[in-house]
Chains A and B, each alone.
Chain A
Amino acid sequence: MSIELRSVSKRFGDVAAVDQVSFSVADRELVALLGPSGGGKTTVLRMIAGLETPSAGDLFIGGRRVNEVPVQDRNIGFVFQNYALFPTMTVADNIAFGLKVRKWKPAESSARVEELLGVFGLEGLARRFPHQLSGGKRQRVAIARALAPRPQLLLLDEPFAAVDAKIRQELREWLVRLHNELHVTTLFVTHDQEEAMEVASRIVIFSRGRLEQIGSPREVYEQPVNEFVARFIGVLNVLEGPVQNTEARIGELVFPSHGVPDGGTLRIGFRPYAVQMSRNLGEFRYIATLRHTYFLGILLRVEIELDSGLVIKARITKEDYARLGLADGVRVSFQIREYRVLSSEAGPLTPEVQVPSQPHIAEGI
């Protein structure tokens, strides 16, 4: 089922939790609603579910306007952050609840419960109570319960927040597989950009009740529409310094003023992968000391510190790190291959500025 929001707002008293949000989700998509807490993403999810009513705007599910349709009649499955399993019911009764209240025939209902117990790897746990299950199992029960009445939409609120890191990884992969098998339009809320990037085919980014950007993981990473998105998705080095004589000086770094008048402040941002390093101190324009290496897997993150104390985050593959002979404490020369000029946080981003790979070239562009 497709979903569409047309300038939907939700106010609690004087506070606009969601402010004029419009976006649409195609049938069978797997979409993440991403943002810092208090960004309005959970309120959007709850409005789609029918647990909150929009203060303004129109909400469509499958082309039908559902603003006034009660939650029971929306045919959605909702998975709560804390799972909200009924503590007085067994696993089987939890999963069967939606079937019982919808007056399924007992035989069909128990067949459906059996089927779901199988699909979700919960065989043998039918008679257990929720408090006797591990966090990961509880989450499976919660999703099985939500899916039992065959909803047209699956909505999950911070589905992986309550389990530990190892299980979280498994559950992410499992959710993607599940979505591929079930073909149910799925929306999930998360504050974890990595999780959104990994699981979702599209990401809707919220901040302070507003929609900042919607796009594929690659789009929001490579073409963020503003500084907020750029900083929220991935790592962004942000530097600022005063402009004098049409040059901005940030520690030892020198940038053209980019139209900022003398006396103003230039802010620039760049991704760690835009930092190019060499052990040959003459190769690039600037000199720094490698302070710390974070091993993240195939990619390593390093922090380099200029003599002025300015610290820059860089990213490098394990192979390049070894090839260049890098280690904590060594001196490197470096340059910033590309960066963006930042205005205010919410303001639009200008296109990236490419810096040709030659020393001392940045001056006078």
Chain B
Amino acid sequence: MAGHVSHHSSSHAPASGPTESLAIRCLLIGLALVFVGLFLLLPLASVFGEAFGRGLKPYLDALRDPRTLASLRLTVLLAVIVVPLNTVFGVAAAWAITRFRFPGKPLLVTLIDLPFAISPVVVGVMLLVLFGAQGYFGPWLREHDFRIVFALPGMVLATLFVTIPFVARELIPLMQSRGPDLEEAALTLGASGWQTFWHVTLPGVRWAVLYGVILANARAMGEFGAVYVVSKPVPGEIPLALWVDTLNSEHQGTAAFAVASLLTFLAIATLVVKAWLESRQHREMARGQSSHTE
């Protein structure tokens, strides 16, 4: 009988455990909150605290500084060049990977992730090795009077490299889960490859594309390491992230944090748009699935 009782109670242990699991739950939630507060919210708040610490005027002055405005223009220019290029690449790569069989496909899938795995500084150094004065293409570039490193093209290449995976990474799983049926249906109805892509493929993945674009944009505007290596440290000729660093090392705290707050606003906006896109995408996918079942 005793044996039976103990067996009975042990079999109910998970169910009678709410008191225990409540404690564990509180502990885990508390830990997560403390961690988020300490390492995410506190620094974030301190950015704004420092930026507005001496009032609105120094803040606005820092932002009105021509060097800051030049940095902002450069940052936007980089994003405007890089994000569309990587969007086209990402869509093309995702299309190739999910719709065709070709040799070297696993290698391509792995290579797309390389920028996530490699340190951005190494990316910058690689560009120096290739296009620097002493690099492989250095002499040829000098002959043709074309600068890549320590100029805009170098910064574009560095940013391009570190943002390659974003769009492709978003699209590949989605396009895999969608399968080729819709596109094949379009083809049997007489659509050309381009019409199929434009009318069928793209509308189906538009939210995922936008999601990838938003993430790529955030990274492009915030990238530091790779661009740092290939840019000339001249105020007004470096993007915002580097300008923050320069100001900071020159002990211009308020100005540094004012510029940093711009990047932080960008980050917050990115998160909001990202959350909205995610909900859109989930709704769309649920719809797409419900039209397959039943």
A: residues with CB less than 8 A from B are 49-51, 71-72, 76-78, 80, 82-88, 97-98, 101-102, 129-131, 134-135, 138, 145-146, 148-149, 162
Given the known inter-chain contacts A131-B290, A134-B294, A138-B291, please indicate yes or no for A86 contacting B188, CB distance below 8 A. Answer: no
**Residue B195 contacts which of A101, A129, A131, A135 (CB distance < 8 angstroms)?**
A101
A80, B184: Cβ atoms under 8 Å? yes
B188, A146: Cβ atoms under 8 Å? yes
A131, B189: Cβ atoms under 8 Å? no
CB distance from A160 to the nearest CB of B (A): 14
Residues of A within 8 A of B188 (CB): 49-51, 71-72, 76-78, 146
B291, A87: Cβ atoms under 8 Å? yes
B273 within 8 A of partner (CB): no
Residues of A within 8 A of B292 (CB): 82-83
Give the distance in Å from the alpha carbon of A87 to the alpha carbon of B189 in the complex: 16
**Residue A84 contacts which of B182, B195, B199 (CB distance < 8 angstroms)?**
B182
Given the known inter-chain contacts A87-B204, A130-B291, A134-B294, please indicate yes or no for A51 contacting B187, CB distance below 8 A. Answer: yes
Residues of A within 8 A of B199 (CB): 86, 97, 101
Known: A78-B188, A87-B182, A87-B291. 11 other contacts (CB 8 A): A71-B188, A76-B188, A77-B189, A87-B284, A98-B190, A98-B191, A101-B192, A101-B199, A102-B190, A138-B294, A145-B185
Residues of B within 8 A of A88 (CB): 203-204
Q: What are 30 contact pairs spanning A and B, CB under 8 A?
A: A51-B188, A71-B184, A71-B187, A72-B188, A72-B192, A76-B188, A78-B188, A80-B184, A83-B292, A84-B182, A86-B185, A87-B182, A87-B204, A87-B287, A88-B203, A97-B189, A97-B199, A98-B190, A98-B191, A101-B199, A129-B287, A131-B287, A131-B288, A131-B291, A135-B294, A145-B189, A146-B189, A148-B189, A149-B189, A162-B293
Residues of B within 8 A of A78 (CB): 184-185, 188
B189, A98: Cβ atoms under 8 Å? yes
Residues of A within 8 A of B288 (CB): 87, 131
Residues of A within 8 A of B189 (CB): 77, 97-98, 101, 145-146, 148-149
Residues of A within 8 A of B250 (CB): none
> In the complex, what residue of chain B is closest to A77 when comparing beta carbons?
B188
B186 within 8 A of partner (CB): yes
Residues of A within 8 A of B182 (CB): 84, 86-87
Query: 1/0 per position for B148-186, CB-CB distance to A under 8 A?
Result: 000000000000000000000000000000000110111
B200 within 8 A of partner (CB): yes
Give the distance in Å from the alpha carbon of A148 to the alpha carbon of B189 in the complex: 9
Give the distance in Å from the alpha carbon of A191 to the alpha carbon of B61 in the complex: 75
> In the complex, what residue of chain A is closest to B202 when comparing beta carbons?
A88
Residues of B within 8 A of A146 (CB): 188-189
Give the distance in Å from the alpha carbon of A51 to the alpha carbon of B292 in the complex: 21
Give the distance in Å from the alpha carbon of A71 to the alpha carbon of B187 in the complex: 6
- Which 9 pairs from chain A and chain B are nearest by CB? A98-B189, A78-B188, A84-B185, A84-B181, A101-B191, A88-B203, A131-B291, A135-B294, A130-B291
Given the known inter-chain contacts A84-B181, A97-B199, please indicate yes or no for A72 contacting B287, CB distance below 8 A. Answer: no
Residues of B within 8 A of A98 (CB): 189-191
A149, B294: Cβ atoms under 8 Å? no
> In the complex, what residue of chain A is closest to B192 when comparing beta carbons?
A72
Give the distance in Å from the alpha carbon of A84 to the alpha carbon of B191 in the complex: 15
Residues of B within 8 A of A87 (CB): 182, 204, 284, 287-288, 291
Given the known inter-chain contacts A98-B190, A149-B190, please indicate yes or no for A80 contacting B291, CB distance below 8 A. Answer: no
Residues of B within 8 A of A102 (CB): 190
Give the distance in Å from the alpha carbon of A49 to the alpha carbon of B185 in the complex: 11
Give the distance in Å from the alpha carbon of A13 to the alpha carbon of B187 in the complex: 24
Residues of A within 8 A of B185 (CB): 78, 80, 84-86, 145
Interface centre among A51, A84, A146 (most CB of B within 10 A): A84
CB distance from B175 to the nearest CB of A (A): 14
Residues of A within 8 A of B195 (CB): 101
Residues of B within 8 A of A76 (CB): 188
> In the complex, what residue of chain B is closest to A148 when comparing beta carbons?
B189
**Residue B190 contacts which of A84, A101, A129 (CB distance < 8 angstroms)?**
A101
Give the distance in Å from the alpha carbon of A77 to the alpha carbon of B188 in the complex: 6
> In the complex, what residue of chain A is closest to B292 when comparing beta carbons?
A82
Give the distance in Å from the alpha carbon of A78 to the alpha carbon of B184 in the complex: 9
CB distance from B20 to the nearest CB of A (A): 44
> In the complex, what residue of chain B is closest to A70 when comparing beta carbons?
B187
Give the distance in Å from the alpha carbon of A148 to the alpha carbon of B190 in the complex: 11
Residues of B within 8 A of A138 (CB): 291, 294
Residues of B within 8 A of A84 (CB): 181-182, 184-185
> In the complex, what residue of chain A is closest to B186 when comparing beta carbons?
A97
Residues of A within 8 A of B204 (CB): 87-88
Given the known inter-chain contacts A51-B184, A80-B185, please indicate yes or no for A85 contacting B291, CB distance below 8 A. Answer: yes
Query: 1/0 per position for B256-294, CB-CB distance to A under 8 A?
Result: 000000000000000000000000000010011011111
Given the known inter-chain contacts A97-B199, A131-B287, please indicate yes or no for A80 contacting B181, CB distance below 8 A. Answer: yes
> In the complex, what residue of chain A is closest to B203 when comparing beta carbons?
A88
> In the complex, what residue of chain B is closest to A87 when comparing beta carbons?
B288
> In the complex, what residue of chain B is closest to A100 when comparing beta carbons?
B199
CB distance from A227 to the nearest CB of B (A): 36
Residues of A within 8 A of B200 (CB): 86
Residues of B within 8 A of A130 (CB): 291
